[in-house]
Structures are given as C-alpha cells and as structure tokens.
Chains A and B, each alone.
Chain A
Amino acid sequence: MVPDYNENEGERETVSLKTANRSLAVVSPLLPDSTSGLRAWFYLVWLSWRRQARSQQMVWIAVGLLLFSVSLVAIFTARGAWSMRYWRWPYRQGPTYMQWADEVQMLASLPDASAEGQGVQAALAASVRGIILYSGFPIFSHWIVFLLFLSFLVPLFNLSFATEALGGERESNSLIWLLSRPLPRPAIYLAKFAALLPWTIGLTLGGFVLLCLVGGQSGLLALRLYWPSVLAATLAFSSLFYFMGATFRRPAVAAIVYAFFLEVIFGNMPGYLKRISIGFYARCMMFDAAGDFGVQPERPEIFLPVDGATALAVLLGLTVLLLGIGTVAFSRAQYHEVV
C-alpha cells in the first residue's frame, strides 16, 4: 500500500494520522517529549519476564520435572517412606527395624534380668524406637532436599532460566533491539535479572514449598528450616548463570559444566577447596538450621562447615558481586554475533 502521507510539497511537515486521534509528525517533533527512563526500565522488566515464557519447551520441562518430583514425594509420603520403621535388616530380607526394636524391648522383660538392667534396656529400646519413629526428617532432608532438590533441581532451574535470559536473546539475535534503545546497558542487565528472579524463585522456592507440603510432617519442618537457604542459593546460582549468559557464547553448556561437574568435584573435595562451591554454603545454612534435629554433615572434620550466618553472607555477597561484575562486563561487551 502507499504510505499515507501528503504529497503536497508545501504540507509535508504536517502529516495526519487517520488511525490515531491526534496528529503526529514523523514522528512528531512538535509533540512534547514524554519519555521516561524509569518507565522504559520497568517496561523492559515486564517484557523480559513475559518473554521468558516464550521458551515453552523450557518452561514445560521445568514444570513437568517439578510436578514429577512432587508426585513422587507425595507417593513416598503416602507409603510412609520417611521413616526407618519399614527398613529391614539384613537388607530387604530380615525383620523390620521396628520389629528389631520390639525384640530389644522384649529382652528387657526377661525374668532373670535385674531391675537396673531392665531399666537401662527399656530406656535403650525407647531411644531406638524414638530414633526410628522420628527418622523421617533426616531422611527427607538427606535424600530429597540435599540430593534431589539442592543438587539437581535448584541448579537446573536456575541454569535454564538464567542462561536463557541473555543467552537466549543472543542465540536468537534479538538482543540488538534492546541494545539499540536509549537505555543504559547496566539498566538493561539489571532489568533482565529482575525479570528473571520471579521465574527462578518461583520454580525453586515455589517448588520447594510444594515438595515440602506433600512431604508430611518432615516436609513441613524442612520448609520451616530450609527456605532461607533455598532462596539464598537461588539468588547466587541465578546471578552466576546469568553472568555466564552475558559472557559465554554457549552459556548453558558452561553452566552445566559448573553445576554438574565442578560443583560435584569441588563439593566433594576434602579441605577448603569446596568453599568455592555455591552448594556448599547452601548446605552449611541447612546444617546450621537443622542441627538440633539431627541433620549434620556425615563427617564434619572433612566437610569443615561454616556457620549459617557466614554462609548466608557469602551467598548474598556472591550474588551482589556477580551482579556487579556482570553489569560491568555487559556494559563493555560488544556482541559480535548480534552484528
């Protein structure tokens, strides 16, 4: 179609717009300029948040994985799996632990035992029963929170959404639309990070709430004790992987190398090398919070934990540091793939 402008030479300066209710020059130097940097920044946050949802496969895999995990935990809870009550010794063949506890208690009632001996044995049996009955929380903590959630789901959710935030724009060559707007680059970096957080926090903390809610009493206790560590770990992982998105051409690959190779290697190293792992500090916060409930590192002399407050400070400090470095790196970067 022919553009709708006036061909009259003398009237070219004034162009009428049929569809709008006021006249705009191209695009009108006469109008008072009403732009606002803050408004643009908030719109960028909103736009970036909304665009994260466009990676439908990613969102569906994340949600699917979360729902699958929640369903499994619900099934385990329904089967009473958070307790050593049904464990058998010898492995999967002998009597259950509770049956063993009953046997021990029966020994206490043998007629030839002394009253003191019977008392000690009764106390011992009661302790054993207590440990068995209340073993749910440590088991839930160890196998669900530490192993499945903290070692896999938290890094994975952060990795996928945080690397996609900038990495996806770079991969699809659409970053140029942001870089050619009159927005300061640090503002773009921070806006996209702000837009990323609802996704990562929603999936990790929201997912953690769901897992814990279906985890019975053990789950509820875990939720009360561990949510700050999950949040702090999410912030740290998000800022790290987001930084990788601004730095690496294939940030997702770099991120899995970190999350599933270096974290595993460093996290299991003796000595202080593990202190460069984000997971280590998240665990330290958890151990600190749940120490009174019998959740401790298997070998504290090798694990060498730091106290919860220090771990929190490190995770938050790391978040701020990585955001700062990322902002500087992004502000100076020339993305050749978008050119």
Chain B
Amino acid sequence: MPDLLDSPDSGRGDRPLTAISVSRDPKGSAPPALPFGSRLTEEAAALPLLLCQRVSKWYGPVIGVNQVTLELRSGITGLVGSNGAGKSTLMRLITGQLRPDLGSIEIRGHDAWSTSARRHVGYCPELDSFYEEMSGRQFVEAMARLYGYPRREALDRAAFALERVGMAGRAERRVRGYSKGMRQRIKLAQALLHDPELMVLDEPLSGIDPVGRDEFVRLFGDLASMGKCLLISSHELEELEKLTDHLAIMAHGRIAAVGTVAQIRDRLDNHPLLIRIDVKRSSPGENDSENDERRRLAAGLLKLNDVVGVELLDARPEDAVDPVLVRARNPQRFFQELTRLVLEEWYEIARLETLDDSTSAVLGYLLSGRSA
C-alpha cells in the first residue's frame, strides 16, 4: 500500500476536522459513565469525539475493516469508497452495532459498544427498513420516546426534526408509501432527535433528488457550523466534495488516503504507480528482438515523461502473453499517454492491471470525480 496517509508524526495542527493519529497515548481509565440524559462533563468534553485505534473486523474469512485508525473532533468528514470497501462496516462499528475483532473504538472515551456511547451518536443507517405501519411522524416520535423523552417533549423534538429535514408537511402519511428520498429524510430526522455530538450518516444522499441534495448539503453545513461532528459516507466523490474538503477514501477495508481531494491527487501524482501490462505474444516466426511486441512497447513506454522504469517479466510458455511491469508517476497523465501509444502503435494488450489495489481504488475515485 502506498504511503498515502500522513505519517503519524506529521502533525496536523492545521487540520482540525479529522486526523489520523496513531501516536496518541493510550488513555487511562474511561470517564465515568453519564447518567441517562446528563450533559457532558468538562473532562469528557476534552476527549476526542471519536477515536478508532487499529480497528479490524472480519466476516468469517472476509475482512470488512482492516487496521483502521481514525480520530474525529468536529466538522464534516466524508468517507468515500466503492461498494464493499468497508464504509458501512466501519460505521456500524462506530455506532456500536458491531464489535471490532481487533482494536478499539471510543466515543468521548466510552467503548462504542456501550450504552453511554450511543447517547453521543445519531445514526442514519443505510438500511431501508422502518416500522412500515406507522406514519413518518409516529415513527420519529417513537424513536424520540425510546430516548426516554416525555411524551410532550418527544412530540416537539419529532416535529422539529421533521421540519429540519423538510418532512413536516408529509409526515402524516404511512412510511410504507414513502419514496426513497422521503425515507432518507425520515432516517435523518430520527438521527437528529437527541441532539447528538456525532452524526454517523451512511449514504444519506442516496435516492435524494437534486433539490433535496442541495437542502441536505445546506443542512449538514449548518449542523457542522453548530459544532456537530458529521461522518458521512458515499460512493460518489463528487457528492462529498460539495460538503467537505476533508475526505477519507476506503478501499478493501483500509483507509487508503486522507486529506483534501487536491492533497490526495498531489500525493498520487508523486507516488509511483505499479502497473502490469500483458502484451499478446508475437507469433513464433516473428519472435526476434525487432518484432517482439513487448520490447517495442517497453521502448515506447520509456519515452513517456511519467514512466520511471520498465521491467520485462518472465512469461510462462503456456501463456500467450508477455508481461511488462511499469512504474509511473502522475497516473492520470500516464494513462492518457498510454492509451494514445497503444492506439497509435496497435499493441494488442490482453490485460492492464494496477498492482496496488488501494492506490487503484483512490485513483479510480479521483478519475471518476474529475471526469464527471
């Protein structure tokens, strides 16, 4: 994996929203658990809102989250990654739905699995299931009452939360008949109810129409400006870029990169990418050094500005291809030039593979974000 993450000692004083920090001293004893509904003590408020330390989670033989270390204090952090990258698993771990197999997760110093931790968290899950027989208002009110609010206050909080997500006028209909966007709004409303410090929002913009997205983006910005900490996942980079310039990109269960989009792009440009190119083997009669497709390709590649090195790998006789290993900087420009070279010279490429999965994933996002 490339060193796309900042080193633990690199210091992130200029980046108050999110930090990857493994240098933090292990804490002493956890702060006293808060009684139901009580406010934060000063001691608890000094602790990081969310602290994940080397968290790993397996689903049987499959690893869902791999050695994730993350610290959040405030602001909006975007968590981006493809389907199956581990975003939702990480969020479920943070909200105490799952327990890490390795590492620890703390919310204001409390184990994320504990009841005390859940008081600080508002969770908008990706799942699209509700108490379908209820109306939107009944559902949100029921959720408020499950926090232990008296009926009157639960009603007020539900009304307010519904107002905030733009559902006040449509909350009397049954959830069963709601569109995807309306269901997302209801999910968001229930996460706002108890005024949580940390909001974990799993794909909150999925299924929302463009107008609704703008409303949500403004709402998230508003919440962040009030001191809330939001962790928002999405598989669309462009979507998150509107919300925040602070992103964590997940790939294969790991956090592959952290920073602004520009920072990540800069680091990718400077980080040599390892690419394997399989060229279709020349027919036996043509197999001399002049006609060898692979050698011609290698020579062509070396002429490209961003190529750092080319290596000819040993091919297996039974394969009909010859592999070439290329190290290149500035992947975006390299791939554009490679495409031009292949089309001009008519190389028969059987396979093109980026050997570093994480880099590839990050690159994929950045490319898709730019092209969109």
A/B touching: CB–CB < 8 A: yes
The answer to whether B148 touches A35 (Cβ under 8 A) is: yes
Bound complex: CA A177 to CA B145 (Å): 12
| Given A4-B163, A27-B194, A173-B129, A34 contacting B218 (CB threshold 8 A) | no
Please tell me if B88 contacts chain A, counting CB pairs below 8 Å.
yes
| Given A2-B166, A5-B222, A174 contacting B37 (CB threshold 8 A) | no
Chain A residues, Cβ within 8 Å of B115: 182-185
Chain B residues, Cβ within 8 Å of A110: none
Count CB-based A-B contacts (< 8 Å): 153
Chain B residues, Cβ within 8 Å of A176: 97, 125, 127, 129
Bound complex: CA A143 to CA B223 (Å): 67
Bound complex: CA A40 to CA B193 (Å): 14
Q: Which of A174-210 contact B (CB under 8 A)?
A: 174, 176-185
Bound complex: CA A44 to CA B218 (Å): 34
Binary contact readout A43-79 vs B (1 if CB under 8 angstroms, 0 otherwise): 1100100010010000000000000000000000000
The answer to whether B36 touches A338 (Cβ under 8 A) is: no
Please tell me if B105 contacts chain A, counting CB pairs below 8 Å.
no
Mostly helix, strand, loop or mixed at chain A's interface? loop
Chain A residues, Cβ within 8 Å of B132: 172
The stretch that binds A, out of B151-159, B302-310, B330-338, is B151-159
Number of residues from B at the complex interface, CB < 8 A = 59
The answer to whether A33 touches B125 (Cβ under 8 A) is: no
Bound complex: CA A47 to CA B148 (Å): 13
Bound complex: CA A35 to CA B160 (Å): 17
| Given A5-B164, A40-B147, A47-B146, A20 contacting B125 (CB threshold 8 A) | no
Bound complex: CA A165 to CA B153 (Å): 28
Chain A residues, Cβ within 8 Å of B89: 339
Please tell me if B225 contacts chain A, counting CB pairs below 8 Å.
yes
The answer to whether B156 touches A3 (Cβ under 8 A) is: no
The answer to whether B125 touches A37 (Cβ under 8 A) is: no
Binary contact readout A1-38 vs B (1 if CB under 8 angstroms, 0 otherwise): 11111000000110001111010111111000111111
Please tell me if B143 contacts chain A, counting CB pairs below 8 Å.
yes
Chain A residues, Cβ within 8 Å of B239: none
Q: Which of B59, B215, B225 contacts A3 (CB 8 A)?
A: B215
The answer to whether A181 touches B118 (Cβ under 8 A) is: yes
Please tell me if B284 contacts chain A, counting CB pairs below 8 Å.
no
* Supplied contacts A12-B225, A35-B36, A39-B145, 7 more A-B pairs, CB within 8 Å: A5-B164, A12-B222, A12-B226, A19-B160, A27-B193, A43-B148, A182-B36
Binding site for B on A (CB under 8 A): 1-5, 12-13, 17-20, 22, 24-29, 33-40, 43-44, 47, 51, 54, 172-174, 176-185, 334-336, 338-339
Q: Which 8 A-B pairs have the closest CB atoms?
A: A35-B37, A40-B148, A35-B148, A173-B129, A37-B36, A33-B37, A182-B118, A182-B119
Binding site for A on B (CB under 8 A): 36-39, 59, 88-89, 92, 95-99, 115-116, 118-119, 121, 123, 125, 127, 129-133, 142-143, 145-150, 153, 156-157, 159-161, 163-166, 168-169, 190, 192-195, 215, 218-219, 222-223, 225-226, 228
